[in-house]
A and B are shown apart, each in its own frame.
Chain A
Amino acid sequence: MTEFVKFDDVEVGLEYPDTPVEFKVTEDVVNGYLGATFDTSDVYNAHSTAADGKRPVPPTLAAVYMMEAMLMLKSPPGGVHAKQKFAFHKPACVGDTLLTKVRILDKYQKKGRNYVIMQTITTNQAGEPVTTGTITRIWGKEE
């Protein structure tokens, strides 16, 4: 899935990839996210907040660790997010390895735009649910 996928070729029900996308939560990843979003919260910059002494990350880092899996199905340029749901089950922490899979839930057309709805399911290295996401993407126009 390295080329752009035309809207007509998006397959509802498709689950991908066969092997979940692995994402390592590193200090650099977290610091980059906090910097880009002006987040100076003590809770994410301390190492002792979580019960096990790990450094928790903002739940919305989900927008980063689910991205590679989501973008494996490539929209033509110009596609954007229209809607986003997340349910946060357990915080990810620095040092975790997260695994994400995607399922295409639906697609439709409205007011001349093409929409694709995807679900992302992320677990941690222990198999515990971390985040479930539902994304509505406006599919980029095909040239």
Chain B
Amino acid sequence: MSTDTLQHWDGVSVGDKLPTIKHTVTQEAINQYADASGDHNPLHIDPEFAKGTFYGRTIAHGLMTLAFVSQMMTEWDWKGWAYGGEIDMAFLSPVFPGDEVNVSAEITAIEKRADGVHALCKLDVIVGDKTILGGTVSRLLSAVNS
């Protein structure tokens, strides 16, 4: 299966920046996410338990931060995200209650594959100068049959 690499496609270019997303995470939001997701791991919602862990206090669910990345992709183009989008990321640092999470990304490649044209982006998810998530996210720019 061959992949052609492009610099531009239909008004989208390598080097373009995606819309940015910013949220301050609170313990209340973490608790809400635990209820919404069904993940009641005490590391996220029980301060007494969390004191005795590696982190020393509660941390947000990593998958909660994933939602912020999805919001950025949705603002850019929800259909290209929902039909053929991909994300591949590592949770590098915890998000603590009170942290402000900033999500941004830059297009690093445009690839023409068997199923269509995809834009690949390098994620930049930070709290202050600390990187929270590392990885890539992509959306479908054009399906083969569209």
Q: Interface residues, chain A, CB within 8 Å of chain B?
A: 29, 32-33, 35-39, 41, 43-44, 49, 56, 58-60, 63-64, 67-68, 71, 77-91
Instruction: Please give me the 8 A-B residue pairs with the lowest Cβ-Cβ distance, nearest first.
Output: A37-B67, A63-B63, A36-B32, A32-B36, A91-B82, A60-B70, A36-B33, A81-B62
Q: Closest Cβ of chain A: how far from B139's Cβ, in Å?
A: 9
Q: Closest Cβ of chain B: how far from A30's Cβ, in Å?
A: 9
Q: How far is the CA of A90 from the CA of B39 in the complex (A)?
A: 24
Find out whether the CB atom of B78 lies under 8 angstroms from the CB atom of A41: yes
User: SS class of chain B's interface: helix, strand, loop or mixed?
Assistant: helix
Q: Which residue of A lies closest to B38 (CB)?
A: A67
Find out whether the CB atom of B86 lies under 8 angstroms from the CB atom of A60: no
Q: A41-B74, A58-B74 are in contact. Are A64 and B82 (CB under 8 A)?
A: no
Q: A43-B78, A80-B43, A89-B83 are in contact. Are A60 and B66 (CB under 8 A)?
A: yes
Q: Is B64 an interface residue (CB 8 A)?
A: yes
Q: Please indicate the chain B residues that have their CB under 8 angstroms from the CB of A89 in the complex.
A: 83-84
Q: Closest Cβ of chain A: how far from B16's Cβ, in Å?
A: 20
Q: Interface residues, chain B, CB within 8 Å of chain A?
A: 23, 29, 32-33, 35-39, 41-43, 49, 53-54, 59, 61-64, 66-71, 74-75, 78, 81-91
Find out whether the CB atom of A77 lies under 8 angstroms from the CB atom of B41: yes
Find out whether the CB atom of A83 lies under 8 angstroms from the CB atom of B89: yes
Given contacts A33-B37, A84-B62, 14 further A-B contacts (CB under 8 A): A32-B36, A33-B67, A36-B37, A58-B71, A80-B41, A80-B43, A80-B59, A81-B61, A81-B62, A83-B89, A83-B91, A85-B89, A86-B86, A88-B81
Find out whether the CB atom of B87 lies under 8 angstroms from the CB atom of A85: yes
Q: How far is the CA of A77 from the CA of B42 in the complex (A)?
A: 7
Q: How far is the CA of A120 from the CA of B59 in the complex (A)?
A: 24
Find out whether the CB atom of B36 lies under 8 angstroms from the CB atom of A29: yes
Q: Closest Cβ of chain A: how far from B131's Cβ, in Å?
A: 14
A-B contacts, 27 of them at CB < 8 A, read: A29-B36, A36-B36, A37-B29, A37-B33, A39-B70, A41-B71, A44-B74, A58-B67, A58-B71, A59-B70, A60-B63, A60-B66, A60-B67, A60-B69, A60-B70, A63-B37, A64-B36, A68-B38, A71-B38, A77-B42, A81-B62, A83-B89, A84-B62, A84-B88, A85-B87, A86-B87, A90-B82
